[in-house]
Structure formats: structure tokens, C-alpha cells
Structure 1
Amino acid sequence: MSANQVAAAVPAEARDALLSRVEDRLRDLFAGEKSRWSAVDPRAAVPVEAVATLVGAGGKRLRPSFCLDGFLAAGGDPALEPVAVDAAAALEVLQAFALLHDDVLDDSPLRRGKPTAHERHAAAHRDAGWAGEPRRYGEGVAALAGDLAHVYASRLVSALSPAAREIWHELSIEIMIGQYLDIRVAAERIADPELSRWIALCKSGRYTVHRPLTLGAAIADRLDLAPAFERYGAALGEAFQLRDDLIDAFGDSTVSGKPTQLDFAQQKMTLLVALAIQRDDRISRLLADGGTGDGATLAQMITDLDVRDEVERRIDHLVEQAQAAIEAAPLDAGWREELSRVAVQVAYRQK
């Protein structure tokens, strides 16, 4: 599809055309890196393969999609499409960085329906009978692969303007600070709903919707759209994370591709858990006593306390906020309609 055809296409088609180029960019990046390092020694390509495997395992591509939406909705110059494509690809690689580390922090056995990187490489260590501890080896491979993903992501955004680069830096910092607070609050068992909401926004919500949209607009040199995208992204980003919490607590792992009730096992102070603790201190005692093995009991208690329904109502309200924000944005009607549709799709997904 030519640049003129992309410009004339309806929003979803225009985005999909650029997303196809993002996939090509990712495939070429990892093919080149695997070939380069395999020529040095086959073992040198292992961390590259770990990143490529995760990126290629069928993620939702939400962050690249929102980045491209921001660029296209802002009327981005076709000459800047390569910069937008690289930035969108960088967001997916940055997501791989976050997930590789997150899976180690959460001791998660599955990601996208397959063994996580640290589990896979620990098993390889055990099977081969290598020296040392398999778990430490597996976690080391995952940590290094995550660091490598961060380097690749940084390289992909090398052509960003100063304004766009500042947005990139901010979202990168927010991920790490939010992730730290996530594990710290779990360790201290702090049941503070407002803090739980802020952590969810910082480590996931902002960098899933708000920052990618604004990054795309910045590439198009339309920072005047930042306030509207922030209102839309803040609301939808929170709804995204709340849906993630509900999927973890009540979802089907065969659909989501990852273990359910892992947040309970890790004693994460999600909004679900924080609200429930405020209503019934038996939940706090259950967590403190290590009684997270019976996730079904905890999930039922959360349901009985009306917390599950309250979070669903919160999601409804956030979707309405996001749609109102985008309806008032200075965008073409087609893009306002598309972003309103996407808000529903993201907030009410099953995986």
C-alpha cells in the first residue's frame, strides 16, 4: 500500500498497513541479530533468541497500535512513517524487556501459553547437567535477555525528535518505578486503594495507552493533542490494568495464556485486593498466613464483598471517560469513532 493509499484508507486499515511494516521490522531485526551473533558462536545468539521468541509469541500489539493510532490520527507526514514504525516496534521490544523481568519477579511459569524464558533455560540447564544452579542460570538468561531487549528498543528510537524522545524516556522510567512499587507494596502488605491505582497506572496503564498515543502524536509534531490523549489514555490505561487484574483473579488460563491467580500467590496489592482487605480483615489474615494456595476461596470472598462488581463498574466509568475525552479531541470524526471503539475492545477483552 502506497503512502497516498494509506492516507486515504479508513483508520483501522491505515493502522493495519503500518502494523504489517512493524512486524517486518521486528522480524528483520531479530533475523539479522541472530545471524550476526551465531557467526561468533551459536551460544552468543541465545539471549537474542529469548527476546525474539517472546516478541514472536503472539502478543496483542496494543502499544504499537496506539503509537500508530496517535501518529495517523494526528495526520502524520508519510515521510515520517519509518520513524513511527520504528517507534512502534520499539514499544513491543520494550514490552518484551518488561515481561522478561516481570516473569522472574513473579516466578511465573507461563507467558502467552508457553514456558517463560527463565523456566525454559533452567530446564535446559538441568537437562544438560551443567554446573551451578539451574534456577539461577535460567533467571540470569532472562535478566540478560531483558536488558538486551531494552538496548534494542533504545536503538529503534534513535531517530526520534527531542520532544518524542522525552516521552520515550518518561514511559521507560515509569515502567521501572511502577514495577518496584508493585513488589514493595506487596512485601509490606499495604492495602491502599489509591496507591494501588497509581501503581497500576504507572507500571502498565500509562505505557500501554497514554504514552504510546502521545509518542505517535509527537512524531507527527502534534503535541497539541497531548492533553486529549492524556485524558483518554489515563482512563483507558487504568481500565486496561483493572481488566488485567480481573483476568488474573477470575479468568481462564487456557484463554489468557498465563497462570490465573498469580497476583494472589505473589500477594500483589491490586485494587481488587486492597478494596477487599478494607472490607474484611479476614483477607488480610489469609494473605499474612500464606493462605494464597486456595485462590478460589479468595476469589469467592472478593466476589461476595461486591469488590468484583465494583471494579467492573469502575471499568464502565473509565470507558465512558475515555470516550468522552476522545469525542472532544480535535480529530477527524473517523479517528474519534475508531478510538472510541478501541476503548471498548481493550477494556472488555478476555485475555
Structure 2
Amino acid sequence: MANDAVAENALRVAPAGPTEGDNPVRAVLAAYTKDLVTAVEDTLAAFLAGEVDALTGIDAAMGGFAATARDCVLAGGKRVRPAFAYWGWRGAGGDVAALPPVLPAFAALELLHTFALVQDDVMDASATRRGRPTVHVALAARHAAAGHRGDPRRFGETVAVLIGDLCMVWADRLLAHAALPPARLLDVRRCYDQMRVETVAGQYLDVLGESDAANWSVDRALRVARYKTASYTVQQPLLFGARLAGVGDDAPLSAAYTRYGLAVGEAFQLCDDLLDSYGDPVTTGKSAGDDLRAGKPTVLLMLARQLATPTQRRALDRVGAGDAGVARLTELVADTGAVDRVERMISDRIAEALTALDTVSIDETTRTALTGLATAATDRRA
């Protein structure tokens, strides 16, 4: 847990406009949430050490399994969700001096995020994450190297699902460590449960879209972005933070957070769609064109089909699989004007988010941080 020094020094706000290499999100987080990220990671490390020890006591193999799950959680990442939750809490009157009692709740969001990432990578058959083999791929390689019986791929995917499940349970357990009055913790838990339900709903729609692309649309693709990404990345973490501070659903601040969160969250996913097709794999840490290769009906691809001329649409339908096909698809999608349209949609949503902040009275530190995070979340290369 955070010590008093962390609580006293947490989140000293730096001047706007920081830079840190090619990752503006990390730069803004370093400026606005440096001490929070450190405190969250310390909280996670301490909690997970005890959990790994407990599972090791069941069987030595369980210790290795739990350690793999722990390493997934602590492998890095921007810690975006705790950051938005923190600023939701601060904007609702949360006091920096009172940070330690709520730190477990912020850290729990990272365990929930790990659950979603690990299982999403299995569903998408992704090979890399953050520049490393995805969990199921690494586990399959380990299985094969050990000469164990059975299909390594099947083993890797099965154990990865279990790791995701364990992280979900760990998130619940860590959330319960937040030192809050029972009635408030129950309200926080309701918000947290809604976040999880919406995440599963968005993930299901994402999977369904790949199998029913002919019946998909731009509106439906945006609905996936809203529930798969916007809800648990920005909107619900902000509301989660407000609940931690005792602010309820019917407060004007909650309405502003909802409006801001949906706009920034959708923009975040639209940016991800562009990065999947046009980002540098060295920077993104993921192979390029996974969505196009799978024919996933993202907003970008749905817009390309909507905007395409008959000739362009026929060309989109004829492109084959493989890297050459993906390269041709990225050219065709850009030629339709879909990339420009998505970039305008991102800009419009950031403007909507900042307008939402203007509808409520929040302290300038919180306003500055949320403004910076909204811009950085969509002006990025990874």
C-alpha cells in the first residue's frame, strides 16, 4: 500500500504539454499521475505477492501459474484506467491525503484490465502484446519446449483463459480491501459490476461482428467501441472514482463524466482502429493489420465500405489474406476517405468531451488533467 509520503506527494501537477518520446499518453500520465502510477504498482505488487504465495501452498505448479498471472499484471501498460478513476475521485472532492484507503480500488481496475486483455488476445488470436508474445502464445511455446502431451496451442489458450479468470477474482478481492464505509463500498461495487457487464457485452458484440459482418453497420461498430472500450476505459472508471468520493448517479458531475467518458472512450477506440492498420508495430507492440486480416467490422472498415465507390467496394471484396492483402487493404481503405473521416470523428469527440467538462464546476487541477488525458489518449502512436 502507499505510505504517507506517497499520499502527501501524490499527483503534483506538471505544466501542460509534456513530451516523452513517441508516447504522449505515457508522457501525460508521467506529468499528471506519476506518483499515482507508482502507488498503484506498489499496491498491486504487495497484493499479488501474497496471492502467489497462497496458491503456491496448494501445489508447486499452481505457484508457477499464479506467477505467470502476476507477471501479466505487472508487465507494464499505461495504467489509464486507474488514472481516470483517480481524477474522477479528485473532481468529486477526493482529498490527496485520503489516497491510501482508496488505492486498492484504483489498483483493482488494472486486474480487471488484465483479465480483458488476456482473454481478448485469445479471442482475436493475437500473437503479440506490448512487443512480447501474448500469454497464450508464450504458454503454448512453454508447453512444447517441455515436451508435454497434447496440443500446445490448446493448452496455451486454455490456461490463458484461466489466468484471465484469476485476474477477475483478484480484482474483486483487491477492491474489497478499500477502506470505505460499507454503504459507500456497496455503491462503488454496483458501478464496478456495471463496468464488468458492459465490458462483456462489448466483447460479445465484437466477436459477433466478425461472424456476421454482412449485417454490421457503422452504428453497430460504434456500439462495440462504446461498450468494449469507452465504458471500462474512461466512462465507468470516472464514475467509479466519483462513487469512491460519495457522488451518486443523479449528480450533475456524474452526467458530465458520462458525457466526457463516452466521447473520450470512443475516440480512444477509433484511434486504436487506426493504429491497428497504420501504426508501426515496433511502437504499438502488436502486429499490424490484425483487424483487417480478420475482417473485423470496425468503424474504419465499415466507413470504408460505406464511402467506397462501386469499383473500390469490389476491390475491397477481392483482396486476399496475408501480409500483401493487408497492405493492399490499408491503401484501399485510405483511398475511400475513411481514414480522414475517422480522424474527424476523433477530433469531434475530444471537442465534445471538453465541452462536457465546461458544464460542471471542478477544480482547475482536475480540469487540466482531464483535458490533457483526453488529448493524449487520442494523439498517440501506441
Bin for the TM-score computed over the shorter chain: over 0.9
- Whether 1:82 aligns to 2:107 is no
How many residue pairs were aligned?
351
- Whether 1:174 aligns to 2:198 is yes
Match 2:39 to one of 10, 15, 21: 21
Partner of 1:309: 340
- The AA in structure 1 aligned to 2:275 is I
Match 2:242 to one of 212, 217, 237: 217
Partner of 2:26: none
Q: 2:256·2:356 contact (CA, 8 Å) conserved in 1?
A: yes
- How has the CA–CA distance of structure 1 residues 253 and 217 changed in structure 2, closer, same or farther, with 3 Å as cutoff? same
Partner of 2:19: none
Match 2:208 to one of 184, 209, 216: 184
Match 1:240 to one of 251, 258, 268: 268
Partner of 1:226: 254
Partner of 2:144: 126
Q: 2:108·2:171 contact (CA, 8 Å) conserved in 1?
A: yes
Q: 1:104·1:139 contact (CA, 8 Å) conserved in 2?
A: yes
SS at structure 1 position matched to 2:241: helix
Partner of 2:225: 200
Match 1:276 to one of 269, 288, 304: 304
* Cα distance in 1 between the residues matched to 2:198 and 2:217: 20
* Cα distance in 2 between the residues matched to 1:28 and 1:3: 15
Partner of 2:62: 44
Q: CA deviation at 1:6?
A: 4.5
Alignment of 1:140-151 (within 5 A): 140-151=158-169
- Whether 1:292 aligns to 2:321 is yes
* Cα distance in 2 between the residues matched to 1:44 and 1:63: 29
Q: CA deviation at 1:77?
A: 4.4
Q: CA deviation at 1:164?
A: 1.3
- How has the CA–CA distance of structure 1 residues 40 and 282 changed in structure 2, closer, same or farther, with 3 Å as cutoff? farther
SS at structure 2 position matched to 1:161: helix
- The AA in structure 2 aligned to 1:213 is L
Q: 1:283·1:298 contact (CA, 8 Å) conserved in 2?
A: no
Q: CA deviation at 1:39?
A: 3.6
* Cα distance in 2 between the residues matched to 1:282 and 1:145: 46
Partner of 1:345: 376
Q: CA deviation at 1:312?
A: 0.4
* Cα distance in 2 between the residues matched to 1:192 and 1:285: 18
* Cα distance in 1 between the residues matched to 2:206 and 2:311: 22
Q: 2:10·2:33 contact (CA, 8 Å) conserved in 1?
A: no
- The AA in structure 1 aligned to 2:260 is Y
* Cα distance in 1 between the residues matched to 2:368 and 2:358: 8
Q: 1:191·1:273 contact (CA, 8 Å) conserved in 2?
A: no
- How has the CA–CA distance of structure 1 residues 140 and 8 changed in structure 2, closer, same or farther, with 3 Å as cutoff? closer
Moved more, 269-278 or 288-297: 288-297
Q: CA deviation at 1:14?
A: 7.3
Partner of 1:67: 85
C-alpha RMSD of the superposition: 2.2
SS at structure 2 position matched to 1:58: coil
TM-score (norm 2): 0.86
Q: CA deviation at 1:7?
A: 7.9
SS at structure 2 position matched to 1:347: coil
* Cα distance in 1 between the residues matched to 2:11 and 2:107: 23
SS at structure 2 position matched to 1:177: helix
Moved more, 291-300 or 192-201: 291-300
Q: CA deviation at 1:20?
A: 1.8
- How has the CA–CA distance of structure 1 residues 252 and 86 changed in structure 2, closer, same or farther, with 3 Å as cutoff? same
SS at structure 2 position matched to 1:291: coil
Q: 2:206·2:224 contact (CA, 8 Å) conserved in 1?
A: yes
Q: CA deviation at 1:235?
A: 0.6
* Cα distance in 2 between the residues matched to 1:229 and 1:17: 23
Q: CA deviation at 1:324?
A: 1.2
TM-score (norm 1): 0.93
* Long gaps (5+) in structure 1: none
- How has the CA–CA distance of structure 1 residues 24 and 283 changed in structure 2, closer, same or farther, with 3 Å as cutoff? farther
- Whether 1:322 aligns to 2:322 is no
SS at structure 1 position matched to 2:50: helix
Q: CA deviation at 1:84?
A: 2.5
* Cα distance in 1 between the residues matched to 2:375 and 2:115: 27
* Cα distance in 2 between the residues matched to 1:20 and 1:71: 18
Q: CA deviation at 1:79?
A: 7.1
* Long gaps (5+) in structure 2: 15-28, 179-183
